[in-house]
């Protein structure tokens, strides 16, 4: 199966990710295959909401190198842990050597960036009338800061941007990067994103009554909402052979509601169909879908309807990682992409963690256990966000 | 890299002193800022359901107003445009409401939180026009317009579809304005199509976009016809670049973007 004319075959040359179950892609994959959750009861000393969180171990103790001190905030500590992954850093350095720093682009996604730093600084500004002297909006909160920080750490100097479309952000970066490479603007691109625990999203989702008091259970009959997680992940995309490549993707808008999905999953369906078209594939070519699967009653119902309209009822095996990592918001696109790539590479489909009883009213084949998938060629990853922003990516096993 | 050539088909703008394109062109020709710099009232967006219209944030009102003005002169139907929204801080007064609530009783309003995300204006834009095309939102500090323009032109070329780019800065309330000095809401929508996309009317101008080494082309300064208060606005570049409408073919406007310079060259009508 070849890509449509004009589209480059982009290998996922290297990846790194920090998440609730560990600090690298391998620990994410092991937790996904074993269905082992990284969620814990909320034990933050700055937020008393009842619920479960995908809190990354060690983030509070992570220390940025001294030359990056002005960038210090929770979001950049997460990013720092991922950027220091030796294999990933080496692959990016090799790309910089090979193509030149100006020919390596950077496209990252985030929803709230380092807003936790501003929450803390604002509380102090309120009390004593001054912004804390160690607070820098530009370096710690402004949406561009994640990319400028990552560029400084990695030494890339190409065109760059930050996409911020809520929970589809770090999926959409793959497609913008693909277009930049196809247009000849860059030869390689670092894509990914980061989002970290903060009061804004914890209390925001609580206000919408979308936070579960239980561990999140995607596609479960008793699901009661999301568990918020945090993560940072990066992937190096280049026209190079790799075990898994980006076959294409699709983007759409629901044009329906700011915070609720279209009930029949109209936009999700459009994104999946556009992704199949872009990859030159038919629904039967897809062996696995890594669902957005947030575990809100509305998301899983809408996504199941969309899956059934594209693949037929129970037409493709599906799982969600949200039970492992929690919903990592602007970072979930790259987290899910890494799990999907691992599934292809290992020819093994991960189960949907934390499911007790699949919601029988949903027309989807929810994976309860890891399932071998010898010879699988293509898999899909879905991510949807506030504002009706939808993105589907399709990956291909090269071997 | 093949040249990224596109035509500019419509402009919609909203800023103190610039109520429409002819006022802007007048200021460009005069070379001095307009005398009127009173903050512009932001109209309630007509396209949204009544509830959403009433509670629309300043950022949502700003983006939808710029879009309406551009669409009035657009040869393309609103629902067929891909969109790119480009902003620096993006949420303005909604950010302050969230921060104040979180610093006090933490009783966040379920109506405020969804409007605090960067893509709230983009989502509302798609709802107002029933537009189900891909919508992107970029935020890259003062380089937000440059980043949005690059995304918009590459998207337009890749998909052979017209794109609406809206570059905007909602006014920042105190004390957030101490961090980011944006005193007046400003926004500018560009409707553009890549060369080769058939249109009924010719574009108002054609351009070529390229990325070069900053040593070859440093960023252009803001023109004298933009008052000094524009300095903190990411959308200032979206206005400044329109100076090319009054300049001969071969003129250029350059903007920093990451480690590169994004150069916008005015083409001749037949080039």
Q: Chain B neighbours among A 112-131 (CB < 8 Å)?
A: 118-119, 122-123, 125-126, 131
The two structure tokens encoding residue B109: 């309003």
* Separation of alpha carbons A55 and A326, rounded Å: 9
Could you tell me if residue A4 is inside a domain?
no
Residue of B nearest to A199 (CA): B102
pLDDT of A399: 76
Contacts of A119 in chain B (CB under 8 A): 99, 102-103
Is A257 in the active site? no
Specify the CATH number for the domain of residue A84: 3.40.47.10
pLDDT of A3: 44
Kindly give the parts of chain A with pLDDT less than 70. Answer: 1-7
Specify the CATH number for the domain of residue B122: 3.40.47.10
Could you tell me if residue B112 is inside a domain?
yes
Could you tell me if residue B50 is inside a domain?
yes
Could you tell me if residue B46 is inside a domain?
yes
Could you tell me if residue B268 is inside a domain?
no
Calculate the alpha carbon distances from A53 to A109, B123, B203 in Å: 21, 27, 52
Could you tell me if residue B238 is inside a domain?
no
Contacts of A158 in chain B (CB under 8 A): 258-260
pLDDT of A5: 46
Could you tell me if residue B265 is inside a domain?
no
pLDDT of B197: 83
Provide the domain limits for residue B46. 4-204
Could you tell me if residue A2 is inside a domain?
no
Could you tell me if residue A49 is inside a domain?
yes
Could you tell me if residue B169 is inside a domain?
yes
Could you tell me if residue A1 is inside a domain?
no
Q: From the candidates A167, A216, A332, A391, give the one annotated as an active-site residue.
A: A167
Residue of B nearest to A266 (CA): B132
CA of residue A325 relative to chain centroid, distance = 10
Number of domains in chain A: 1
* Separation of alpha carbons A300 and A329, rounded Å: 16
Could you tell me if residue A68 is inside a domain?
yes
Taking a C-beta distance cutoff of 8 angstroms, is the pair A348, B83 a contact? no
Query: Whole-number mean pLDDT of chain B?
Result: 95
Number of domains in chain B: 1
pLDDT digits (tens, 9 = 90+) for B88-115: 999 989 999 999 999 999 999 999 999 9
Residue A179, Cβ neighbours under 10 Å: how many?
17
Burial B113-136 (b: 16+ CB within 10 A, else e): bbbbbbbbbbbbbbbbbebbbbbb
Is A167 in the active site? yes
Is A19 in the active site? no
Mutate to test the interface with A, among B86, B135, B166 (most CBs of A within 10 A): B135
Kindly give the parts of chain B with pLDDT less than 70. Answer: 1, 270-271
Q: From the candidates A292, A332, A378, A391, give the one annotated as an active-site residue.
A: A292
Contacts of A102 in chain B (CB under 8 A): 213, 259-260
Least Cα separation, residue A212 to chain B (angstroms)? 16
Provide the domain limits for residue A23. 10-397
Note the ipTM here. Answer: 0.97
- pTM over 0.95? The answer is yes
């Amino acid at each position: 199966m070849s890509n449509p004319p004009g589209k480059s075959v982009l290998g996922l040359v290297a990846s790194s990710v920090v998440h609730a179950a560990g600090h690298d892609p391998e620990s994410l994959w092991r937790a996904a295959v074993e269905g082992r959750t990284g969620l814990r009861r909320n034990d933050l000393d700055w937020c008393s909401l009842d619920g479960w969180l995908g809190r990354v171990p060690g983030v509070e103790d992570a220390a940025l190198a001294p030359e990056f001190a002005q960038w210090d905030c929770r979001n950049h500590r997460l990013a720092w842990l991922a950027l220091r992954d030796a294999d990933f850093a080496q692959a990016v350095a090799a790309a910089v050597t090979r193509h030149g720093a100006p020919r390596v682009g950077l496209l990252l996604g985030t929803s709230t960036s380092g807003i936790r730093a501003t929450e803390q600084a604002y509380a102090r500004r309120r009390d004593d009338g001054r912004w804390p002297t160690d607070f820098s909006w530009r370096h710690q909160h402004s949406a561009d800061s994640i990319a400028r920080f990552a560029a400084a750490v990695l030494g890339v100097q190409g065109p760059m941007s930050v996409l911020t479309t809520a929970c589809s952000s770090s999926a959409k970066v793959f497609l913008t990067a693909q277009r930049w490479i196809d247009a000849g603007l860059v030869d390689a691109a670092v894509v990914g994103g980061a989002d970290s625990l903060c009061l804004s999203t914890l209390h925001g989702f609580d206000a919408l009554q979308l936070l579960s008091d239980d561990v999140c259970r995607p596609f479960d009959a008793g699901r009661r909402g999301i568990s918020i997680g945090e993560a940072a992940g990066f992937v190096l995309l280049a026209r190079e052979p790799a075990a898994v490549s980006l076959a294409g993707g699709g983007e759409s808008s629901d044009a329906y509601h700011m915070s609720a999905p279209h009930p029949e999953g109209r936009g999700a369906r459009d994104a999946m169909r556009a992704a199949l078209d872009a990859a030159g594939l038919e629904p039967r070519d897809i062996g696995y879908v890594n669902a957005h699967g947030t575990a809100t009653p509305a998301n899983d119902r809408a996504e199941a309807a969309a899956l059934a309209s594209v693949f037929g009822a129970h037409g493709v095996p599906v799982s969600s990682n949200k039970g492992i990592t929690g919903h990592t918001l602007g970072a979930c696109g790259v987290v899910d992409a890494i799990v999907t790539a691992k599934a292809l590479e290992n020819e093994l489909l991960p189960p949907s963690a934390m499911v007790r009883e699949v919601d029988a009213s949903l027309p989807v084949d929810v994976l309860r256990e890891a399932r071998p998938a010898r010879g699988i060629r293509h898999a899909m990853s879905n991510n949807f966000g506030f504002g009706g922003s939808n993105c589907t990516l399709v990956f291909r096993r090269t071997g | 890299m093949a040249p990224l050539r596109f035509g500019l088909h419509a402009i919609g703008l909203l800023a103190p002193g610039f109520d429409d394109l002819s006022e802007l062109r007048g200021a460009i020709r005069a070379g001095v800022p307009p005398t009127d710099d009173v903050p512009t009232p932001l109209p309630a967006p007509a396209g949204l359901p009544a509830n959403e219209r009433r509670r629309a944030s300043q950022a949502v009102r700003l983006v939808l107003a710029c879009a309406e003005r551009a669409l009035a002169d657009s040869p393309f139907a609103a629902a067929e445009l891909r969109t790119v929204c480009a902003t620096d801080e993006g949420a303005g007064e909604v950010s302050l409401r969230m921060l104040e609530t979180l610093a006090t009783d933490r009783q966040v309003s379920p109506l405020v939180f969804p409007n605090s995300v960067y893509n709230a204006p983009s989502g509302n834009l798609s709802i107002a026009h029933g537009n189900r095309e891909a919508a992107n939102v970029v935020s890259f500090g003062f380089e937000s317009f440059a980043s949005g323009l690059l995304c918009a032109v590459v998207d337009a070329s890749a998909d052979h579809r017209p794109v609406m780019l809206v570059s905007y800065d909602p006014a920042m309330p105190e004390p957030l304005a101490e961090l980011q000095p944006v005193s007046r809401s400003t926004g500018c929508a560009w409707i553009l199509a890549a060369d080769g996309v058939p249109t009924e009317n010719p574009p108002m101008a054609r351009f070529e976009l390229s990325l070069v080494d900053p040593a070859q082309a440093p960023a252009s300064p803001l023109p004298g016809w933009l008052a000094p208060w524009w300095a903190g606005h990411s959308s200032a570049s979206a206005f400044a670049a329109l100076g090319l409408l009054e300049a001969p073919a071969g003129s250029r406007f350059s903007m920093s973007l990451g480690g590169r310079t994004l150069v916008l060259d005015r083409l001749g009508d037949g080039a």
